[in-house]
Amino acid sequence: MNVLISGGAGFIGSHVVRRFVRAYPQYRIINLDALTYAGNLENLRDIEDAPNYTFVRGDICDFDLLCRLMAQYAIDAVIHLAAESHVDRSIKDPFTFARTNVMGTLSLLEAARRYWNGRWQGKLFYHISTDEVYGSLALDAAAAAPPFGPELFCEKTPYAPHSPYSASKASADHFVRAYHDTYGMPTLVTNCSNNYGPYQFPEKLIPLCINNIRLGKPLPIYGKGENVRDWLHVEDHAGAIDAIFHRGLPGETYNIGADNEWKNRDIVHLLIRTTDRLLGRPCGASIPLITYVEDRAGHDLRYAIDSSKLQREIGWAPAYTFETGIEMTVRWYLENQPWLDAVTSGAYMSYYDDMYGKH
């Protein structure tokens, strides 16, 4: 099987590529990535020479390139992760999000449809999405219970995106389902909660805080820090994607999460405790770095995922506890400070432009 994985040089994509390259030597994995600020081939150093792995630098909005790649590599399946992924950036620059997340997804769908040309047997278009498309839940579970609204996001929860990021992902999800319903394309959509773990770009809450604690820089908490996110280790997400890729039913949607809700300010305190301890600093030394800042516009209050369909129908369950996952994650960032320094300085980007041409 020839599998095209888009966005494989990013945070989640690199874990998915690594897992598939190692676990399925019989598959050929083609990683298509534009290497934006969020894409970094350092994330894949350990598998870049594997015989079943090929990297292509390219943009998912480049329809001619996509059509060429589908034919050149005789692609059987697409796992689509390439996206602009940061809510704060989407507030500043919504056009880029519509371009990549909506038009890029549509281009990839259409290139696959034209190449597969109705011969759907053995083909799959698997789209990776987010729980943010469902909008926001009430803080208090009792207040959120029916008839006031769902207590958790399930696959039937109506879409209600609030940020330009989640609106663009919602649009992409609808296009994927439309290709299933209109053309019969075998598709899968999964909506996952917030991920954490190695190789996450330090603009997102967890790596940002670890990086700033090590450097003694401010830890910005938006608003009162009461917003809740449901955290999943990225390797558990990659494991779920593997299971769903092989056992999911075409046309279906599965939610992925680990029943692990945390208020932002509690996460920041947990990261301070863990990072200070691992750096040999006195307990609580970094608490004065906490800085409450203006809230994010349209900030969703709470995300929480019901992943019982996935557990029941696919038999998946997360392997990491949050305790171990966070400890290992903080250790990883502290042991990989050159990676953090390179991505925060942007040094790796001009290197790629020299190697692959400016994008």
Residues of this chain, 141-200, that bind ligand NAD according to CB under 6 A: 169, 192, 194-195
Q: Which of 128, 205, 210, 244 binds ligand NAD (CB under 6 A)?
A: 128
Q: Is 276 a catalytic residue?
A: no
Q: Is 295 a catalytic residue?
A: no
Q: Are 296 and 86 in contact (CB under 8 A)?
A: no
- Respond yes or no: is residue 183 known to be catalytic: no
The verdict on 33 binding ligand NAD (CB under 6 A) reads yes
Between CA 29 and CA 342 the distance in angstroms is 27
Token pair in block for residue 95: 């056009």
Task: Report the residue number, 10 or 248, with the smaller CB distance to ligand TYD.
Answer: 10
Site map (CB under 6 A) of ligand NAD, residues 309-348, x = contact = ----------------------------------------
Burial 74-106 (b: 16+ CB within 10 A, else e): ebbbbbbbbbbbbbebbeeebeebbbbbbbbbb
Q: Give the pair of three-digit tokens for residue 9.
A: 């040089």
Instruction: Choose which of 31, 107, 130, 255 interacts with ligand NAD (CB under 6 A).
Output: 130
Catalytic choice (53, 126, 134, 165): 165
- Please identify the residue of the shown chain whose CB is closest to the bound ligand NAD: 10
Q: Compare residues 120 and 222 and give the one whose CB is closer to ligand TYD.
A: 222
CA distance readout (Å), 309 to 107, 256, 306: 30, 9, 8
Least distance from C-beta 123 to ligand NAD, angstroms? 21
Alpha helices in the chain (DSSP H): 11-23, 63-72, 87-92, 94-97, 105-116, 141-144, 164-183, 205-215, 234-247, 264-278, 308-313, 322-335, 337-345, 347-356
Kindly name the residue from 33, 84, 131, 236 that is annotated as catalytic.
131
Residues that bind ligand NAD (CB under 6 A): 6-7, 9-13, 33-36, 38-39, 59-61, 81-85, 100, 104, 128-130, 169, 192, 194-195, 201
The residues that are catalytic are 131-132, 165
